[in-house]
Structure 1
Amino acid sequence: MAPSRTQAIPFTLALGWCAPVLAGSLVVSPAPVPRTDAEKHAILTAPHALINGVKVELHYHTLLRSGQTGQADPDGYRFGQLYDQKGQPLLAEDGSPYLSHHNDFSSLLRGADEQLYMVSHFESRPGAMYLTALTQDTQTGQLTAQRTRPLDFSALNGGWVHCAGSVTPWGTHLGSEEYEPDAKQWRDGTISDYNAAMARYFGAAPEQAQTVVNPYDYGYPIEVQVAQFDAATVTKHYAMGRIALELGYVMPDRKTVYMSDDGTNVGLFRFVAQQPGDLSAGTLWVAQWQQQDADGAGRARLNWINLGTATDVEVRDWIGRYRFADLFEETAPNTADPDTPAQCPNGFTAINVGHTTGTHQCLKLRDINQDGQIDTLDQTIASRLETRRWAAMQGGTTEFRKMEGITYDAARHQLYLAISEIDYGMLNFSRAGRTPGSVSTYDQGGANHIQLKQANVCGAVYALELDAHYTALGMKPLITGTPLTVKYGASAQAAAYDGQNQCDVNGIANPDNLTFIPGYDTLIIGEDSGAGHQNDVLWAYHLASDQLMRLQTSPYGSETTSPYFYPDINGFAYLMSVVQHPYGESDADKLTDPRHRAGYTGYFVFLALNP
């Protein structure tokens, strides 16, 4: 699907969908494409919108930036400051308190005390989540941060790279731990600097990560329930599996949860809880891509493979008992003949999994609990501690590239899923800009289920058809970006390429998180783009008319993370929008003041938009 033009257009849903009648209209006057240096340093927003015929001025309101304190507690905690397991501040190299500028998902919740709160992620190692008490202006809906504090993860051995998230149907925060540490590095004594940074949480140097950090502590969904500002419960749901979790999204049945796995050669997972509203026990499934079309962003039926049932209590016990070498025997692929694809010896299963890169591995499940037999219990242990590896061994697809946001459209009964780049394992022994068949790294040894003909590093948002039980049956592209360079997947460099934006500025580039505005048939799409778009964009995409509108742009080197829509909080609707790490991902040379690195956590506010 080609990107749309960027003129102001009516967002009016045509009636006739075989679903609840939707009649809301939204007309947006689009934000400009940043052209000048001043515009590229700023957050630009659409000037106004017509919502059901009423003109509404659009303003981006900043709640907190990294390093700030609450209005009522100026000497209190600084938003985004990192602490160790004992509650002591972590220090930067210059001795100053370490502040994370990697702001990510921020939820709006109502506590048991009926007050409004925000739970905010910081995508760091160690990770941090902050709880902020909010007040709401009854006339304008504007929110004010009164107090903020870090949530205590000490009983869980800390948090890890908290990325995107969602709000459950029962009103709790469901967070994430992305880019889980590879436990093989602990077996081999090759722990990366990225993973070793977690040792600081335990008051140790990174060189001590081998002994103080257990990699199996990280990579799980995290639920936060708020009673009041001084009382919030943090729970890791180990039963849901361990991946490079972008986010989990709970379906309206209050049992089914879709989980996106971010990185290279990763999978799509589904968890079904045993009881509605309780994620502490359930069955885990992995998707298998059954390709139907190799053109464009592809199309497939989805088969689901059962990875077993477990509880949080069981998995927490296994984390303390077992290491990678207890789970798998591993051997190197046979590579004697350089002209023959490497194979695994008899008895070993060949897989190719990430998340950092595709890796051909030969694994054999061990008798993990040493009961004299390799049985279902051993398989279940592997499924929760080494979820991606075990999923691949069972036939699941682990070839997706940068799986990101998830949201749900009740009117169409569809799930929307962002794939930030179509490249690597999603091709057939190839890479963007490379000759087909010339790259084996991401397919050798794997199932090679996904064999798309052409890369598109600008990415795509897919629609997933659901059945009555919220099981995804198929997957097809909804909207794709348009590459302008060979490096990004174009057959030849386009005349429109300006030397800075490798994806068409009037279309999406590297879609990240998503949220849906029910009743207005509008999908909000954030971006996490380096060279695709020099300035990342927050888009509004109207499905029925196939129109794409630019709502917001972010400064140099930042990304527009974790948009999330709330239709009615005390008579006002909110669209959350976070600007992460300005000048951090690219264009670092454009930074003129170190204070400008601070990330933004903010929102747009309207009168309630009930479907």
Structure 2
Amino acid sequence: MASNQIRRAVAAALTLTSTSLAMAGSIEFSPAPFPLTDSEKRSILTSDLAVVDGASVPLNYNTILRSGDTSGNGIFGQLHDINGAALLAEDGSPYISNANDFASILKGEDGKLYMVSHFESRPGAMYLTELSQNAQSGELSAVQTRPLDFSALRGGWVHCAGSVTPWGTHLGSEEYEPDAKQWRDNDVDDYNAAMATYFGATPDQASSVMNPYDYGYPVEVKVNNFNDAAVAKHYAMGRLALELGYVMPDNKTVYLSDDGTNVGLYRFVADNAGDLSSGSLWVARWNQKSGGDAGAADLDWIYLGQANNDQASQWKDSYTFADIFNEADPIMEGEQDTGRCPTGFTSINAGHRGDLHQCLQLRDIDGDGWVWQTDQNIASRLETRRWAAMQGGTTEFRKMEGITHDTDRNLLYLAMSETDRGMRDFNRVGKTPPYAEYDIGGPNHMRITNGNNCGTVYGLALDGTYTATNIFPLISGTPMTADYGAAADSPDFDGINKCDINGIANPDNITYMPGYDTLIIGEDTGSGHQNDMIWAYNIRSRNLTRIQTTPYGSETTSPYFYPDINGFAYLMSVVQHPYGESDSDKLEQPSETFGYTGHFVFPAMTQ
């Protein structure tokens, strides 16, 4: 399909009826200043105000807790081992994580407000915080905090983004699942081995104390009260480098984004509404219509089988990578990988640390003499990406991040931090083609012409069953340098920010303001923007407004919108690991590295 046809289709998808437009609310933000001075680059800068339905609302970033803060008897972000003892840093002090990530606002069964907060570490942590809501201003503050106990689940792992289910529970994630093939090869890398400390072991003992299949799942938390919160991993939903799961309004369909290189998009459909403990799993297949811009495609969905938590929990404790797959070497011509595999083996290119091209064959896993549906279901839950690729799903996406639902248009929005590597056709931004690593082997479904390391937010059209039928680019960043995707270095390049400072760079977590036509876009960027930002994008007018900037080396995480909690609306915003991603040489005081978990307050915004 030609680019002008794609643009017309996009415009049609984004258009609301005149009746809907008349009912929609309005919000406009004053632009946050762009940080220019050293002092500004160390600060959190925000819009001064928002005009909501014609009324001016002063905006302030309100910090609930910073990592290391004490509230009640808890120290926010302190990491613990499986026995609840504090983990210690190299200097003997308690280890505090500055990797604050998604933070939800929930109503407990006792009627109080609570926050469940992620810490994106190995071992991971989730903290439960009781909140107090100021009756006049709506500002939230911490009353007390404590770590949630993951010991029965053998710990938590790299808790990244998340969402709140329609039934009011926290749905968290475990990103960058450990590659079980490393355990087979007795070659566990440092990233995965860091989890061994949770078990009181050293990293070089990781292969003996860890089961890689314990990690990489959605995590649901139901809060009854401060002393009673139930934590469950949904093994039935599959195992990924899970950025987050997002539940659709039918209370059954869940979209799962897979973060990394050569990854897939997944859809889980629960057997029963409001219950994620059993259901069917599907992977998307990209059927390309256009390779221009960031590409566009129709989507098919490939069935990966049905399972429940009890089954999948038994499988993870019973089988290893070697039980699931036979593996062969690719067919070579001299030193060149042909992309082909020996007879009986499937050629895939799917993201894991190490070789992407693999030749795999499903084994008789359960030993009943047949390679049959049970074996396929086991593979689909423990080795979801590999099995999805073997079934013909698309595992070529690069840095798949946040998901949110536009209830006004019934569109899904999906952030892709970069459109590069496997998304291109034997090419990579800034490299000389052919660049085969990300396309050798596998089907090479995605063949985008121009890669963009400033990233894209896509729209996905949904049918009446909340199944995505096609995907198209909504908004992209603008590269300033050749190594980020510009045809040549732009004359506007300032020598620091490789993506245009008036546009997005490496979109990460996103959230939609229903009834207000506004998509909130957070960034996770290193060289794209020196200071990560949060933006408000008006879907109807296409206006983009910077509403927050963060200190050197931070990542913006957890933008998430709540239209009405006791008469106030909230936009959550978390500032992760200041000075941790770049500009560490500018650090002056250790306290500057502490992460922020905070929010903006508005009047209730319901339409």
**Shared fold by TM > 0.5?**
yes
1:567 corresponds to 2:563: yes
CA distance in 2, matches of 1:339, 1:199: 38
CA distance in 1, matches of 2:337, 2:163: 46
1:542 corresponds to 2:543: no
Aligned letter for 1:306?
Answer: Y
1:197 match: secondary structure: helix
Q: CA deviation at 1:20?
A: 7.8
Contact 1:264/1:357 (<8 A) preserved? no
1:52 corresponds to 2:24: no
CA distance in 1, matches of 2:507, 2:430: 20
CA distance in 2, matches of 1:146, 1:410: 34
Contact 1:128/1:162 (<8 A) preserved? yes
Distance 1:533-1:17 versus aligned 2 partners, 3 A rule: farther
Instruction: Flag structure 1 segments of 5+ consecutive residues without an equivalent.
Output: 2-12
User: 1:312-340: per-residue Cα shift (whole Å, max 9, x none)?
Assistant: 00000011110000000001112133456
Within-5 A mapping of 1:121-520: 121-338=118-335, 341-356=338-353, 359-437=356-434, 439-520=435-516
CA distance in 2, matches of 1:226, 1:127: 19
CA distance in 1, matches of 2:180, 2:236: 18
- Indicate the residue corresponding to 2:521 in structure 1: 525
CA distance in 1, matches of 2:185, 2:70: 43
- Indicate the residue corresponding to 1:84 in structure 2: 81
Distance 1:200-1:509 versus aligned 2 partners, 3 A rule: same
What number of residue pairs does the alignment pair up? Answer: 595
Aligned letter for 1:584?
Answer: G
Distance 1:91-1:45 versus aligned 2 partners, 3 A rule: same
Contact 1:525/1:539 (<8 A) preserved? yes
Contact 2:287/2:299 (<8 A) preserved? yes
Contact 2:65/2:596 (<8 A) preserved? yes
Contact 2:16/2:408 (<8 A) preserved? no
Contact 1:358/1:425 (<8 A) preserved? no
Contact 2:331/2:337 (<8 A) preserved? no
- Indicate the residue corresponding to 1:588 in structure 2: 584
Q: CA deviation at 1:144?
A: 1.0
CA distance in 1, matches of 2:129, 2:157: 20
CA distance in 2, matches of 1:592, 1:398: 42
- Bigger drift between 355-364 and 106-115 goes to 355-364
Contact 1:328/1:364 (<8 A) preserved? yes
CA distance in 2, matches of 1:411, 1:568: 17
Instruction: Flag structure 2 segments of 5+ consecutive residues without an equivalent.
Output: 4-13
Identity %: 64
- Indicate the residue corresponding to 2:69 in structure 1: 68
CA distance in 2, matches of 1:264, 1:21: 43
Q: CA deviation at 1:436?
A: 3.1
Contact 1:15/1:23 (<8 A) preserved? no
Two-structure CA RMSD over aligned residues (Å):
1.3
CA distance in 2, matches of 1:537, 1:249: 23
1:499 match: secondary structure: coil
Distance 1:210-1:581 versus aligned 2 partners, 3 A rule: same
- Indicate the residue corresponding to 1:113 in structure 2: 110
Contact 1:330/1:362 (<8 A) preserved? yes
Distance 1:578-1:15 versus aligned 2 partners, 3 A rule: same
CA distance in 2, matches of 1:357, 1:600: 34
Q: CA deviation at 1:410?
A: 0.9
Q: CA deviation at 1:143?
A: 0.8
Aligned letter for 2:356?
Answer: T
- Indicate the residue corresponding to 1:24 in structure 2: 25
2:598 match: secondary structure: strand
Q: CA deviation at 1:16?
A: 2.8
CA distance in 1, matches of 2:22, 2:164: 25
CA distance in 2, matches of 1:358, 1:469: 37
Contact 1:455/1:489 (<8 A) preserved? yes
CA distance in 2, matches of 1:101, 1:184: 30
Within-5 A mapping of 1:84-103: 84-103=81-100
Q: CA deviation at 1:545?
A: 0.2
User: 1:513-540: per-residue Cα shift (whole Å, max 9, x none)?
Assistant: 0000011100000000000000011000
CA distance in 1, matches of 2:564, 2:395: 38
Aligned letter for 1:603?
Answer: H
User: 1:552-586: per-residue Cα shift (whole Å, max 9, x none)?
Assistant: 00000001111000000000000000000000000
CA distance in 1, matches of 2:234, 2:108: 21
Q: CA deviation at 1:14?
A: 9.1
CA distance in 1, matches of 2:50, 2:220: 35
CA distance in 1, matches of 2:254, 2:395: 19
Contact 1:85/1:202 (<8 A) preserved? yes
Q: CA deviation at 1:447?
A: 1.1
CA distance in 2, matches of 1:189, 1:15: 56
- Indicate the residue corresponding to 2:11 in structure 1: none
Distance 1:156-1:339 versus aligned 2 partners, 3 A rule: closer
- Indicate the residue corresponding to 1:5 in structure 2: none
Aligned letter for 1:530?
Answer: G
CA distance in 2, matches of 1:464, 1:80: 36
Q: CA deviation at 1:22?
A: 3.4
Distance 1:36-1:309 versus aligned 2 partners, 3 A rule: same
CA distance in 2, matches of 1:358, 1:559: 28
Contact 1:126/1:201 (<8 A) preserved? yes
Give the TM-score of the pair, scaled to structure 2.
Answer: 0.97
Aligned letter for 1:87?
Answer: G
Aligned letter for 2:43?
Answer: A
